[in-house]
């Protein structure tokens, strides 16, 4: 059946109006979503006891639901029957499931993180080799800030199925240091120096008691282990301070810190020609 110019014009006007109206609905919907989200975030701020982790997750979830409602409203405005739309989705459920299985896994991972709380916003974690401070936990992803201030986006599905090390959950951490000295050094003198340094450092906790002793007879050095406990916020500061103080104290006491060395012997027909240390 041929469509006349008049009918074509009427159809163009009819569907053109729907498209324009749908665009307006989408634009207004975005503004409404933004306004609702401002109210939601304001209500979160009034609830001081609301956990930041729950707050960020709910923020992401509410926004996602509102945007889905806006999109469905746009479809209705265009004249697309939702029943037909749902029927099409049902027919293509397998393909959609395969295409979005990663997103579904991330969504489920986000729920598990929210339920079991392996970490919270503001804590420093190591998740499968990715280290950083948790900035936000969204519905599909968790945002981390690394030491050098890089933003890392980690899928929640992977986070929920990997080993997560939380460095912030306990108030104290053990600091393990190893110092090598020459075999000619006085062991008792070295232990006294290390003990004095540990005792005088204000960041080192007295309980649990520090441990100092010979750890290993290395190839070119006697290695001493120093194991002390510090507050978690002092971990790196104490590491730098103790390493620097030990080096200065060893220098002042004449305790040598040897370089790796190897004895080389040359033989010719069973007779040693020369020997040396490198």
Q: Which tens digits make up the pLDDT trace of 85-130?
A: 566 556 555 454 555 566 778 888 888 888 888 898 899 999 888 8
**Spatial separation of the C-alpha atoms in residues 54 and 137, rounded to whole Å:** 8
Please state the rounded mean pLDDT for residues 222-235. Answer: 95
> Nearest Cα to 143, choosing from 159, 161, 165?
159
pLDDT of residue 168: 92
Token output for 134: 């948790």
Residue with tokens 């004449």: 254
Element (H, E) at 42: helix 5-46
Q: What is the mean pLDDT of residues 238-246?
A: 96
What residue spans of 137-213 are helical by DSSP H? 156-159, 187-200
Could you give all domains of the chain from N- to C-terminal order, each with its CATH number? 5-91 (1.10.287), 106-166 (2.30.30.60), 172-253 (3.30.70.100)
Q: Is 37 exposed, middle or buried (0-12, 13-18, 19+ CB in 10 A)?
A: middle
Return the residue matching tokens 């053990």: 174
Residue 50 pLDDT:
67
Q: Are 63 and 71 in contact (CB under 8 A)?
A: no
CA–CA distance, 20 with 16 (Å, rounded to integer): 6
The candidate with the shortest Cα–Cα distance to 109, out of 166, 160, 46, 61, is 160
Two tokens, residue 6: 């008049």
What is the spatial distance between Cα 179 and Cα 227, in angstroms, rounded to a whole number? 11
Q: Residue 179 has what pLDDT?
A: 96
Give the tokens for residue 157. 């599905």
Pair type for strands 211-217 and 222-231 = antiparallel
Q: Closest by alpha carbon to 164, among 199, 129, 200, 138? A: 129
Rounded (5°) CA angle 186-190-191: 120
Checking DSSP bridges between strand 271-277 and strand 222-231, what pairing results, if any? unpaired
Q: Is the pTM of this model over 0.85?
A: no
Query: How many CA atoms within 13 Å lie on the side-chain side of 220?
Result: 10
Higher model confidence: residue 276 or residue 140?
Answer: 140
Nearest Cα to Cα of residue 78 among 34, 33, 24, 5? 24
Percentage of the chain exceeding pLDDT 90: 40
Q: What per-residue string of b and e applies to 45-60 under the rule 16 or more CB within 10 Å gives b? A: eeeeeeeebbbbbbbb
- Residues 147, 167 contacting (CB under 8 angstroms): no
Residue 276 has pLDDT above 80, yes or no: no
Lowest mean pLDDT among 65-69, 125-129, 157-161: 65-69
Model pLDDT for residues 10-60, shown as the tens digit of each residue: 656 666 777 778 788 888 888 888 888 888 778 777 776 666 766 777 777
Q: Which residue has the higher pLDDT, 25 or 201?
A: 201
């Amino acid at each position: 059946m041929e469509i006349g110019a008049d009918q074509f014009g009427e159809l163009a006007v009819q569907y053109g109006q729907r498209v324009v109206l749908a665009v307006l609905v989408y634009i207004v919907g975005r503004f409404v979503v933004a306004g609702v989200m401002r109210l939601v975030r304001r209500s979160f701020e009034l609830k001081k006891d609301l956990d930041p982790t729950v707050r960020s997750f709910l923020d992401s979830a509410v926004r996602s639901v509102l945007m889905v409602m806006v999109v469905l409203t746009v479809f209705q405005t265009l004249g697309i029957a939702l029943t037909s739309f749902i029927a099409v989705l049902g027919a293509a459920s397998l393909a959609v499931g395969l295409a979005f299985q990663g997103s579904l896994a991330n969504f489920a991972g986000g729920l598990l993180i929210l339920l079991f709380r392996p970490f919270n916003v503001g804590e420093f974690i190591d998740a499968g080799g990715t280290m950083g401070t948790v900035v936000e936990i969204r519905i599909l992803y968790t945002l981390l800030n690394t030491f050098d201030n890089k933003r890392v986006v980690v899928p929640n599905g992977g986070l929920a199925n990997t080993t997560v090390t939380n460095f912030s959950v306990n108030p104290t951490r053990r600091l393990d240091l190893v110092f090598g000295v020459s075999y000619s050094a006085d062991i008792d003198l070295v232990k006294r120096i290390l003990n004095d340094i540990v005792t005088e450092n204000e960041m080192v906790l007295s309980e649990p008691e520090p441990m100092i002793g010979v750890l290993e007879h290395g190839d070119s050095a006697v290695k001493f282990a120093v194991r002390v406990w510090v507050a978690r916020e002092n971990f790196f500061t104490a590491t730098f301070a103790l390493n620097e103080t030990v080096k200065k104290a060893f220098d002042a006491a004449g305790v040598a810190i040897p370089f790796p060395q190897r004895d080389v012997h040359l033989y010719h027909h069973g007779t040693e020609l020369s020997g040396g240390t490198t």
